[in-house]
C-alpha cells in the first residue's frame, strides 16, 4: 500500500492498493477510484470489536453504522479521498494501547485493524451541554488512519500535567494519553457578553494535540451575519423587482384585452 497526499489548500489523499489490500472509510468520503476496486459494506474493521454494536458506537461518534471497504481485485488499484474544506489531511499511526481522539467527522479513512468508535471522556450530560465539539471519535487498534483538519494546523507537545484551554470547535486530534475536561469560563460578564461560549476544553498532558484554525461551525458562525444580511437584501430587491415586473406585465395584458 502506498498513500500520497497531493495538493495544498484542498488536499487529496490518493491510496494505491496491491491486489488483496484494503482500506476502509466512512460513507461519503470517496472522491474517485479505479474500476478494478471492489466496494462492499461492513460493520467490521477486522478487529475483535467488529459487529453491529461497534457500528452503533461509531454512529454516536459521528460516523456511520456501516463502513465502506475498498479492495483491489486484479493488479494495482487506486482510491482517492478529497478534503471537504481548505485544510490538511493528517496521517496518524495507531498502535495497541496508543489511540487517538478526533473531532467529530474528522476521520477520513484507515487501514483494516483501526477501530473507530465514540470517545467520550466526559459524562454524557457533559457531552450534551458542551455541544457537538464534546462528542469525539476514538481511533484505536493497529494501523494507519487519515484525518481531515480544517484551516491551518498547530500542534503542541504537552508535558505531564501541562494544560491548555481550547474552544471546543478548534480541537482537531490528540493522543489518548491526554486527558479531556470540560470547564466553564469564569465570570458572569464573560458568560453573558463574551460571545466566545461559556465552555472551554482543558487538555492536559502528557501527549500531543493538533488544533485546527477554521472548523466548519466557527466558519459558519463568522459568515452568518453577512449571509443573513444578503438574504434580507436579496428578498427585498426580489420583491421590488417582482412587483415592478408584475405591474408591467399586467399593464401589457390590460392594453391587449
Is the bond preceding residue 198 a cis peptide, omega within 30 degrees?
no
- Among 108, 92, 87, 129, smallest CA distance to 13 is for 108
Domains in the chain: boundaries: 2-152, 227-257
Q: Which of 115, 2, 106 is nearest to 54 (CA)?
A: 115
**pLDDT value for 198:** 58
Among 202, 185, 203, residue whose Cα is nearest residue 194: 185
Question: Among the listed ranges 19-28, 51-60, 159-168, which one has the minimum average pLDDT value?
Answer: 51-60
Q: Is the dihedral of CA 30, 31, 33, 35 positive or negative?
A: positive
pLDDT at 88 over 50: yes
pLDDT tens digits, one per residue of 234-249: 555 555 444 444 444 3
Per-residue confidence (pLDDT) for residue 239, from 0 to 100: 52
Distance, in Å, from the CA atom of 75 to the CA atom of 150, rounded to the nearest integer, reads: 34
147-190: pLDDT as tens digits:
999 999 999 999 999 999 998 889 999 999 999 888 876 554 44
Note the pLDDT of residue 65.
Answer: 72
Give the rounded percent of residues in the chain with a pLDDT score beyond 90: 49
- Name the band, by pLDDT with cuts 50, 70 and 90, for residue 222: confident
Half-sphere exposure of 170 (CA within 13 A, CB side): 18
Worst-scoring range by mean pLDDT, 43-57, 71-85, 119-133? Answer: 119-133
User: What's the pLDDT band for 12 if we cut at 50, 70, 90?
Assistant: very high
CB distance 1 to 15 below 8 Å: yes
Residue 26's contacts (CB-CB under 8 Å, 6 or more residues apart) are 63, 64, 67, 68, 107, 108, 109, 116
Tell me the three state secondary structure of residue 197. Answer: coil
- The predicted pLDDT at position 234 comes to 55
Model's pTM, two decimal places? 0.76
Give the CATH superfamily of 2-152.
Mitochondrial biogenesis AIM24 (3.60.160.10)
Q: What is the per-residue pLDDT for 118? A: 75
Of residues 3 and 214, which shows the higher confidence score?
3
Amino acid 254: pLDDT: 47
Q: How far is CA 159 from CA 29, 39, 164, 177, in A?
A: 35, 43, 11, 11
Residue 196 is predicted with a pLDDT of 46
SS (H, E, C) 13-51: EEEEECCCCEEEECCCCCCEECCCEEEEEECCCCCCCCC
Best CA proximity match to 113, nearest among 40, 48, 159: 48
29-53 pLDDT tens trace: 899 999 999 999 887 666 555 555 5
Distance (Å, rounded) from C-alpha 128 to C-alpha 165?
Answer: 19
Residue 252 has pLDDT above 50, yes or no: no
pLDDT surpassing 70 at residue 70:
yes
Q: Is the pLDDT of residue 9 over 70?
A: yes
Q: How confident is the model at residue 127 (pLDDT cuts 50, 70, 90)?
A: very low
What local confidence, expressed as pLDDT, does residue 132 receive? 44
Asked whether the predicted pLDDT for residue 27 surpasses 60, the reply is yes
Amino acid at each position: 500500500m502506498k498513500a500520497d497526499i497531493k495538493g495544498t489548500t484542498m488536499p487529496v489523499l490518493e491510496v494505491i492498493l496491491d491486489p488483496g489490500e484494503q482500506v476502509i472509510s466512512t460513507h461519503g468520503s470517496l472522491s474517485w477510484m479505479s474500476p478494478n476496486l471492489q466496494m462492499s459494506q461492513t460493520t467490521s474493521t477486522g478487529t475483535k470489536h467488529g459487529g453491529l454494536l461497534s457500528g452503533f458506537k461509531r454512529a454516536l461518534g459521528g460516523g456511520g453504522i456501516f463502513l465502506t471497504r475498498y479492495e483491489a481485485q486484479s493488479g494495482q488499484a487506486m482510491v482517492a479521498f478529497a478534503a471537504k474544506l481548505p485544510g490538511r489531511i493528517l496521517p496518524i499511526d495507531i498502535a495497541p494501547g496508543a489511540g487517538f481522539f478526533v473531532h467529530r467527522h474528522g476521520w477520513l479513512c484507515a487501514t483494516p485493524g483501526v477501530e473507530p468508535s465514540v470517545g467520550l471522556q466526559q459524562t454524557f450530560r457533559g457531552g450534551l451541554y458542551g455541544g457537538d465539539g464534546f462528542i469525539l471519535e476514538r481511533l484505536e487498534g493497529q494501523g494507519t488512519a487519515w484525518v481531515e483538519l480544517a484551516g491551518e494546523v498547530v500542534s503542541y507537545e504537552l508535558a505531564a500535567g501541562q494544560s491548555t484551554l481550547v474552544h471546543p470547535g478548534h480541537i482537531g486530534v490528540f493522543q489518548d494519553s491526554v486527558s479531556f475536561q470540560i470547564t466553564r469560563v469564569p465570570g458572569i460578564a464573560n458568560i453573558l457578553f463574551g460571545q466566545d461560549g461559556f465552555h472551554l476544553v482543558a487538555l492536559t498532558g502528557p501527549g500531543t494535540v493538533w488544533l485546527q484554525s477554521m472548523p466548519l461551525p466557527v466558519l459558519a458562525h463568522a459568515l452568518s451575519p453577512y449571509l443573513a444580511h444578503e438574504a434580507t437584501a436579496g428578498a427585498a430587491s426580489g420583491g421590488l423587482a417582482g412587483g415592478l415586473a408584475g405591474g408591467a406585465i399586467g399593464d401589457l395584458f390590460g392594453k391587449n384585452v
